[in-house]
């Protein structure tokens, strides 16, 4: 009896997982601008003038997106497209003969990287969100997150990724890269993404994360002094001075009088409530899409990966009721 109940419970749980997967892929089907993305990639795609006829571009793009949505290797993506009904329906295939092998998917990804297409796809999403009034560029939240890289030396070069570096955060050492993002303060959507090694200081990347139209910049205490650097953007394109609303360190608060601390705490709370929007983006990328560790070596590949991940995160966040209305 207990065994039957266990099997039944497992079946129900499996059915629930399958339903969630289908619902998520239905959402992706609806929110991805397929026509625009295919048109941008088509001029760079294989023409099939020599050798075997290339796989249809749309199948390749759908496989590539599945790979990023579920953090899969090339081989695992192809296997899932054959074995999973939800994946095969999403890709529009009903036979293993219609699905390329892992090497072909890897070559397609490298084709996108060589032509800077992930950056163009991200830019297209940002432009579309601006048209909808969801990115206003009146204020930017700056933040970063560490993406781990494999520290193994079991490769052809017998070395770790030379573009990745280690950095200490708290009491823990991390080896990898940093994703630096500029986020619209009103919608919480990303308008700029920059990839660096993990040891690059957050403040150094701030000028690259701004649009030039901001009235204010928000950041945690790691960005203190950002507005006073030689390369700081101090005025926007209209000539107005940009306000850097950076959270203070707790040690700075203790030096104030009691009345000063009360006023400062209210100001800090206001800054933090704006800055909290950035956590929704990181939540989608690192929790929902499970991108915490990169599979690839080299800064160029990380930049491409970050562009497509935050493009997808923007599409998912923009579809939430609070923004989609």
pLDDT band for position 52 (50/70/90)? Answer: confident
**Averaging pLDDT over each range in 71-75, 94-98, 255-259, which range is the top one?**
71-75
- Which residues does 185 contact at the CB level (< 8 Å), separation at least 6? 138, 139, 140, 141, 216, 218, 274, 277
pLDDT band for position 48 (50/70/90)? Answer: confident
Burial call 9-26: b when 16+ CB within 10 Å, e when fewer: eeeeeeeeeeeebeebbe
Strand pairing report for 139-148 and 165-169: unpaired
Identify the sign of the CA torsion 114, 115, 118, 119.
positive
Of the candidates 70, 123, 113, the residue with the CA atom closest to the CA atom of residue 298: 113
Measure the CA–CA gap between 282 and 302, rounded to whole angstroms.
16
Query: pLDDT tens digits for 224-256?
Result: 999 999 999 999 999 999 999 999 887 776 677
Three-state secondary structure along the chain? CHHHHHHHHHHHHHHHHHHHHHHHHHHHHHHCCHHHHHHHHHHHCCCCCCCCCCCCHHHHHHHHHHHHHCCCCHHHHHHHHHHCHHHHHHHCCCCHHHCCCHHHHHHHHHHHHHCCHHHHHHHHHHHHHHHCCCCCCCEEEEEEEEEECCCCCCCCCCCCCCCCEEEEECCEEEEEEEEEEEEECCCCCEEEEEEEECCCCHHHHHHHHCCCCCCEEEECHHHCCHHHCCCCCCECCCCCECEEEECCCHHHHHCCCHHHHHHHHHHHHHHHHHHCCHHHHHHHHHHHCCCCECCCCCHHHHHHHHHHHHHHHHHHHHCCHHHHC
Measure the CA–CA gap between 260 and 254, rounded to whole angstroms.
10
Cα atoms in the 13 Å half-sphere on the side-chain side of 190: 32
Q: How many residues does the structure list for the chain?
A: 325
Domain positions in the chain: 2-115, 143-324
pLDDT (0 to 100) of residue 9: 56
Q: What's the mean pLDDT when you consider all of the chain?
A: 91
pTM of the prediction? Answer: 0.91
- Which residues does 241 contact at the CB level (< 8 Å), separation at least 6? 234, 235
C-beta of residue 293 within 8 angstroms of C-beta of residue 149: yes
What is the percent of the chain where pLDDT is above 70?
92
């Amino acid at each position: 009896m207990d065994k039957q109940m266990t099997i039944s419970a497992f079946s129900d749980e499996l059915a629930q997982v399958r339903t969630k997967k289908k619902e998520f892929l239905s959402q992706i089907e609806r929110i991805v601008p397929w026509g625009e993305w295919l048109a941008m990639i088509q001029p760079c795609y294989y023409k099939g003038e020599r050798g075997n006829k290339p796989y249809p571009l749309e199948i390749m793009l759908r496989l590539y997106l599945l790979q990023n949505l579920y953090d899969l290797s090339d081989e695992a993506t192809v296997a899932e497209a054959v074995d999973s009904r939800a994946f095969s329906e999403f890709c529009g295939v009903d036979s293993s003969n219609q699905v390329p092998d892992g090497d072909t998917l890897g070559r397609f990804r490298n084709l996108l990287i060589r032509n800077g297409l992930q950056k163009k796809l991200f830019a297209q999403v940002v432009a579309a969100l601006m048209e909808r009034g969801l990115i206003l560029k009146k204020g930017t939240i700056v933040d970063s997150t560490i993406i781990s890289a494999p520290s193994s030396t079991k490769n052809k070069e017998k070395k770790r990724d030379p573009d990745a570096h280690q950095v200490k955060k708290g009491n823990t050492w991390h080896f990898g890269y940093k994703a630096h993002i500029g986020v619209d303060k009103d919608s919480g959507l990303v308008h700029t993404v920059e990839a660096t090694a993990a040891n690059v200081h957050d403040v150094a990347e701030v000028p690259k994360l701004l649009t030039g139209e901001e009235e204010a910049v928000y950041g945690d205490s790691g960005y203190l002094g950002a507005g006073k650097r030689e390369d700081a953007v101090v005025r926007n394109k209209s000539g107005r001075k940009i306000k850097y609303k950076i959270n203070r360190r707790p040690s700075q608060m203790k030096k104030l009088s009691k009345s000063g601390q009360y006023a400062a705490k209210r100001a800090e709370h206001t800054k933090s409530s704006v800055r909290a929007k950035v956590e929704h983006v990181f939540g989608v990328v690192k929790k929902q899409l499970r991108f915490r560790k990169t599979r690839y070596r080299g800064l160029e590949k990380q930049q491409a990966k970050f562009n497509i991940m935050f493009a997808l995160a923007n599409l998912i966040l923009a579809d939430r009721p609070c923004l989609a209305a």
